[in-house]
Amino acid sequence: MNNQYLDVFLEEAKEHIENLNRYLLELENNPTKEIVDEIFRSAHTLKGMSGTMGFTQLSELTHEMENLLQEIRNQKINVNEQIIDTLLNCVDILEELINDIEEQGQEQHRDISTVIQRLKGKNDVYLNKTKTTIENTKKHVFNFNEYEDRLIRKAIDQGLYIWKINVTLIDECLLKSARAFLVFKTLEAFGDIIKTEPSVQDIEDEKFENEFTLYLVTSKEKEYILRALSSVSELKTVDVMRIDQDSIEVQKANLEDDADSKDTAETTKPFLTTQKPSNGQKNLKKTTKTLRVDIERLDNLMNLVSELIIIKTRLEDIKDNNYQAQRETIEYLERITSSLHDAVMKARMVPIENVFNRFPRVVHDLSRELSKKINLVIEGAETELDRTVIDEIGDPLIHLIRNAADHGIEDPQERISKGKPEQGTINLKAYQDGNNVVIEVSDDGRGIDLSKVLKKAVNAGLVTEEQSKNLKDYEITSFLFKPGFSTAGKVTDISGRGVGLDVVKTKIESLGGSIEINFIKDKGTTFQIRLPLTLAIIQALMVLVGGEKYAIPLSSIKETVTVTRDQIKTVQKREVILLRGNVIPIARLNEVLDTHRQDQNTENLTLVIVKKGEKDVGLAVDDLIGQQEIVIKSLGSFLKDIKFIAGATILGNGEVALILDINKLI
């Protein structure tokens, strides 16, 4: 496979997937011919691209989609919810296939037959008007790929049995994958597992409900298997079923709707059953990250570089003692470098649209799942952010949107009784504010019930009942960001497991940003995220500690103060100072960083007061050097585990100074 084209293929394929998602959702609300045409075009292009690249499953599936879309286009079929759901399902599978290609460099075998049958089913139903339900045509096909089929046939030739074993775990089983592992281990003692549903990987990752199915080749009888499995606890039921040669249907390249098969077993798994790659070896080829850049921006960059060359020539020409000319040229140079810096930063900027585009689909699915009517309004999708931030911000945002849909927006009846429109609204807004980009996720739901939060916090031991009476609102909402905290009465699939907001907060802080909650009871909740425009360059305060230079990001500094020796008090063996009525603990950086001890006898102590989460800490340093714009460089993977060092920067004289990560420092 030619990697050069692969990158382009992936980039474009993802765009088409996005388009498909977007237009399909639009189609639901507004079924016009133009939109169908758009969808058709994307599906068609995708089919052509995949065909050229040799991805047969992709092109097959898109081909079937195209057939259905063609019928819609010719108005032989009317669009309804079911059709859109089926098409969205197809898009999901396409996306998985594309992800496989990206991760492993080649198409992995996925079960596309079921969905193709549905596509064709839709087609037939609406064309012939003969069948009324498609869902009920449950055909039980044993889908084996050729490799597995060969194994099975060989086993049958050798007189071995093939058992289809359906295992259900008890509902309260905690370590599902561990139980599954025990089952595997037990069976593997006397046979070979040739296939599982879902895939082994998914089972290991606990991506299954309470049941899974496996196919075992062995010489042992059914009773033996049942006896062996009886030693594994927490199994609810074990069904063992024999498979003989006749009931095997090999999945052919071109799947026929009416594949000959016997109704022998119940296939419970839906569309996506990943099968192990038949060659067994995983080709973990990572494609490189690419970025599309507006050619204008590159031209601008090019111009600046050529100016740089001109300046270099000019500098060479300046006579030794012509200071005037030297100064002018250096000023000119300064201007160019800062424009160059801007231009490169701009080249790395991507509109946040790339992330936001995923959300209409998310909200659509959520509103189905929760049976709530939810409308998503997106504003400021053109706001630009650094590519690295864009890549990271998606998951936290999805989390907040889920939260809003699940916890924020009330059930339709409740909304009506409150005199609100039945349909809830989630507002997603991005805008630039100085050197920050602000992203707001707001809903018009019930807001936050402070008393409920407080009760939880007291129960969880985060605060005593005494203390809780004096807390301010923002102090109470800050509990929401504590690990393991959830106010949802019941745990749903969507949220409420309490592994949420703390992760969101950590992620955003690791991007150098911050998050805030605002709410009005029964009017709604707003999560406001502030992110720096770029991660690569920050303002920092340079300090001297034990003869070494360190950079402290300005974003975490509150102020600097000089205190005299007698202002330092000791509380519980820790040094503290009293600053405007607040007790602030002191950390001596030369001890934390094991530097050479400076003379302790100095009368004055220079403190940099930093924010560490909600608390303030005073860092004792030897001297302040000054504020400076620094470029953050990674320490590399060899030293990545050293905490409290966020990276390094190169100073004007070529020396390296380390950047302190205040959150992890103390």
Q: Which residues bind another protein (CB under 8 A)?
A: 548, 592-595, 633-639, 641-645, 647-648, 650, 654-658
Residue in this structure with the two tokens 């993802």, named with its chain if needed: 14
> Which of 94, 137, 276 is CA-nearest to residue 202?
276
Both tokens of 283, joined, read 């080709």
Give yes or no: 328 in active site: no
> Which of 512, 496, 549, 487 is CA-nearest to residue 662?
512
Which CB, 485 or 550, lies closer to another protein?
Answer: 550
Backbone angles phi, psi at 436, to 5 degrees: -120, 160
Which CB, 583 or 656, lies closer to another protein?
Answer: 656
The rounded distance, in Å, linking the Cα atoms of 194 and 178 is 19
Q: How far is the CB of 464 from another protein (least distance, A)?
A: 36
Q: Is the CB of residue 574 less than 8 Å from the CB of residue 585?
A: yes
Q: How far is the CB of 438 from another protein (least distance, A)?
A: 32
Q: How far is the CB of 639 from another protein (least distance, A)?
A: 5
Longest dimension (CA), the chain: 100
Q: Which of 28, 44, 67, 89 is catalytic?
A: 44
Backbone angles phi, psi at 637, to 5 degrees: -70, -20
The rounded distance, in Å, linking the Cα atoms of 71 and 74 is 5
Which CB, 158 or 638, lies closer to another protein?
Answer: 638
> Which of 582, 581, 592 is CA-nearest to residue 658?
592
The rounded distance, in Å, linking the Cα atoms of 108 and 275 is 8
Q: How far is the CB of 636 from another protein (least distance, A)?
A: 6
Q: How far is the CB of 309 from another protein (least distance, A)?
A: 19
Q: How far is the CB of 631 from another protein (least distance, A)?
A: 9
H/E segment holding residue 78: none
Q: How far is the CB of 637 from another protein (least distance, A)?
A: 5
Q: How far is the CB of 312 from another protein (least distance, A)?
A: 18
Q: How far is the CB of 303 from another protein (least distance, A)?
A: 23
Both tokens of 92, joined, read 């999901």
Both tokens of 232, joined, read 């594994």
Which CB, 252 or 633, lies closer to another protein?
Answer: 633
Which CB, 419 or 654, lies closer to another protein?
Answer: 654
Which CB, 317 or 655, lies closer to another protein?
Answer: 655
Backbone angles phi, psi at 222, to 5 degrees: -60, -45
> Which of 235, 231, 148, 238 is CA-nearest to residue 189?
231
Which CB, 569 or 643, lies closer to another protein?
Answer: 643
Q: Is 659 exposed, middle or buried (0-12, 13-18, 19+ CB in 10 A)?
A: buried
Which CB, 565 or 643, lies closer to another protein?
Answer: 643
Q: Is the CB of residue 187 less than 8 Å from the CB of residue 165?
A: yes
In this structure, the strands spanning 548-553 and 615-621 are unpaired
Q: How far is the CB of 374 from another protein (least distance, A)?
A: 43
**Amino acid code (one letter) for 202:** D
Give yes or no: 29 in active site: no
Backbone angles phi, psi at 78, to 5 degrees: -95, 145
Rounded to 10°, the helix 359-370/3-29 angle is 50
Which CB, 189 or 639, lies closer to another protein?
Answer: 639
Which CB, 371 or 637, lies closer to another protein?
Answer: 637
**Amino acid code (one letter) for 548:** E
Q: How far is the CB of 642 from another protein (least distance, A)?
A: 6
Give yes or no: 44 in active site: yes
Q: Which of 123, 166, 403, 590 is catalytic?
A: 403
Q: Rounded to the nearest 5 degrees, what angle is found at the Cα of 6, between the Cα atoms of 4 and 8?
A: 80
Which CB, 574 or 596, lies closer to another protein?
Answer: 596
Q: Is 630 left (phi over 0), alpha (psi -120 to 50) or beta?
A: beta
Q: Which of 18, 60, 66, 440 is catalytic?
A: 66
- Range 609-612 contact pairs with CB under 8 angstroms and sequence separation of 24 or more: 609/557, 609/558, 609/559, 609/560, 609/561, 609/579, 609/584, 610/552, 610/556, 610/557, 610/558, 610/662, 611/556, 611/557, 611/558, 611/662, 612/556, 612/662, 612/663, 612/665, 612/666
Q: How far is the CB of 92 from another protein (least distance, A)?
A: 33
Q: Is the CB of residue 9 less than 8 Å from the CB of residue 42?
A: no
Which CB, 174 or 284, lies closer to another protein?
Answer: 284
> Which of 27, 103, 97 is CA-nearest to residue 62?
97
- Range 75-80 contact pairs with CB under 8 angstroms and sequence separation of 24 or more: 76/126, 76/127, 77/122, 77/123, 77/126, 77/127, 78/126, 79/27, 79/28, 79/31, 79/36
Tell me which residues are annotated as active site: 44, 66, 403
